[in-house]
Amino acid sequence: MEITPQSRVGEIAASFPLATRVFARHRIDFCCGGGIPLVEVCARRGLDPEAVVAEIAAALAATPAPGADWNEAPLDELVQHLLTAYHAPLREELPRLEAMVRKVASVHGEREPVRLPALQAAFLALEADLTQHMDSEEAELFPPILERGVEAAPAVASFRDDHTEVGRLLGEIRALTDDFRLPDGACNTWSALWHGLEALENDLHHHIHLENNVLFPRLAAA
């Protein structure tokens, strides 16, 4: 496809995975907001869409394409990739982050009596939603694809809705952490928590992008 300001950001990310680096740099949501044209997203963020298109083109010209093309790979391989690269690490990382967010809220709650309890509540809601979402995908959506092929896959509307809520909670966490900027005098656990939450956001953007903009459209087209 040709990338233009009218292209939808999710389609750009699906066709040109390296474009996600440019989107991340400008905080353009290509997962939950993947259905929005680039020109509209840029208007909201005060960006020049032609400059963003040029930046993507430069990135594509300078860097070799990645090996796996998930638009063409068999669907069972894509699902296995989602399980191995995202679901399994997420199930390990969420409890680690929960322990840190509880510790920071407990130890430093008097210093930040509003923000840290709100952050803990937002993270726990995110953790619960993600765990339920992964359980549902692994019980309902993925087995038919892995076992019998795409014909048996159920509707994906509810899974898209889950992603929308995850995106909302990620935005709330980013706001509560002041774009992951550490306060003066933050301890090592506080620093590790902020870095961990930022890494979680990045991984979830790529995870949700592969489902919303690659897996789900391929299921719909089958």
Domain spans of the chain, in order of start: 9-62, 75-221
Q: What tokens were used for 23? A: 């989107």
Structure tokens at 81: 């990739």
Instruction: Output the pLDDT for position 130.
Output: 98
Q: Which residues lie below 8 Å from residue 124, measured CB to CB, with a gap of 6+?
A: 98, 101
pLDDT at 24: 82
Cα(130)–Cα(90) distance, rounded to whole angstroms?
A: 9
pLDDT at 135: 97
pTM over 0.95: no
CA angle 216, 167, 113 (to 5 degrees): 160
Give the helix, strand, coil percentages of the chain, each rounded to 5. 70, 0, 25
pLDDT of residue 32: 79
Backbone angles phi, psi at 8, to 5 degrees: -80, 140
Tokens of 1: 């496809």
d(CA 41, CA 38): 5
List the pLDDT tens digit at each of the 222 positions of the chain: 899 999 999 999 888 877 887 898 898 988 777 899 999 999 999 999 999 999 999 878 765 555 568 998 999 999 999 999 999 999 999 999 999 999 999 999 888 999 999 999 999 999 999 999 999 999 999 998 888 766 555 678 899 999 999 999 999 999 999 999 999 988 888 998 999 999 899 999 999 999 999 999 988 887
